[in-house]
Amino acid sequence: MNTSNILMPIIKAGILDSCLSDAQKNVIDDDKIIEIYKLAKPHDFAHLLYGVLKKENISLRNELLLKEIKKAQSIAIYRYSMLSFEATQLSATLEKHGIKHMLLKGAVIREHYPNPWMRTSCDIDVLLDEEDAGRAKEALIDDCSYIFHEKTSHDIALYNANKHVHIELHYKLIEKNRVAKIDDILENPWENASAKNGCEFTYEMSPEMFYFYHIAHMAKHFQDGGCGIKPIIDLWMIHNRTPYNEKTSNALLEKGGLLPFANAMRKLSRIWLDGEDYDDFSRELEKYIIDGGVYGTLENKVAVHQIKKGSKFKYALSKIFLKYEQLRFHYPVLNKHKWLFPFCQVRRWFKLLFRGGVRRSIHELELNKNVSSERSAKTAEMLTKLALD
């Protein structure tokens, strides 16, 4: 049995009240578990293996392997406890300082899982108004011992070295001109948000808008080489375990040009967790997503962006000469001083030359040159079906 074919039933058994079939259990031995662990780890699901082995009474001969699998579960539980505490502290701090904010992504989604530690995260994402970002940064540095890491055109990153916790203070949900026609819908997320019970400055996005935002965030990563397994499991959890108006969400998705993508991802989530039958396109999507890992592969990214640019030559030029919208992501000073655009372009080239970026850039251009016509055609067809072309 193919490793990816056994991984999905294990994830299902790990987070839902389901069991493996006899045929699935019979193929699991030490060697197969090593393969499954290596595939599950880059998708952030290795922590589920120990619970499934225990539930299914599957024993391993390799005690070191079993210890490693158990350790993955323990780390996931510890990380959840740490992040949950820090998220509570973050909201309490911003509430105290009168800074309007709302938690995003994993901090919200994990509460819909049977056990919240099952949904791992590596950071805490929070949305606030851009004019409040500096004040929020200082509050978290002064009150919670965070240190400043970096600032981009859409967020400020903070880090607590003692607790190994990252915080991203977003003042934009997704950078402009990245995905379909979503910009107008996500331009002002506060319109569809309300204060949490008992709070004045801690907000929650409406379920319908949160659903739309989750799909949009998936699509952004999908276009950059892959979104990983986790957002699709998240989608099933949101779809099945939150009270939302599906008609309203679908209207938003259609307006934002994301309904075909959402339908394809919803189908894949049902295949994995509800046992719905595959079709050829779902298998193609599954391979793209599983092979891509959590953040996608460079090969996938090159294939997708080559299609969007229209040719290998245009893609190569786009990597050398970044557009203003792309460059200001790296140099936020351009938001106020657009005239610095050519200077920042040159600065980026020098940064690539002298800070180790040349090797990756050359590798990317080599991949661009070597993408086969067959892969290019398949990628173009996939993007067309998903309305992401």
Q: What 3 state SS string does 79-93 have? A: HHHHHHHHHHHHHHH
The tokens describing 133, both together, are 């970002």
- pTM as predicted: 0.83
Q: Which residue has the higher pLDDT, 362 or 373?
A: 373
Q: What are the C-alpha distances in Å from 77 to residues 80, 105, 167, 304?
A: 5, 18, 19, 36
The DSSP call for residue 47 is: G
127: nearest Cα among 144, 107, 142, 145 = 107
Instruction: Kindly report the average pLDDT of the chain as a whole number.
Output: 86
- The answer, yes or no, to whether residue 207 has pLDDT greater than 70, is yes
Q: How many DSSP H helices and E strands does the chain contain?
A: 19, 7
Q: Which residue has the higher pLDDT, 178 or 314?
A: 178
Task: Give the three-state DSSP class for 246.
Answer: helix
For 36-48, how does the pLDDT look when each residue is reduced to its tens digit (9 = 90+)?
A: 999 999 899 999 9
Q: What are the C-alpha distances in Å from 95 to residues 45, 134, 167, 199, 370?
A: 33, 15, 16, 8, 53
pLDDT on residue 293: 63
For 157-172, how does the pLDDT look when each residue is reduced to its tens digit (9 = 90+)?
A: 999 988 889 999 999 8
Q: What percent of the chain has pLDDT over 90?
A: 56
Most confident range (mean pLDDT) of 74-78, 287-291, 296-300 is 74-78
pLDDT on residue 304: 61
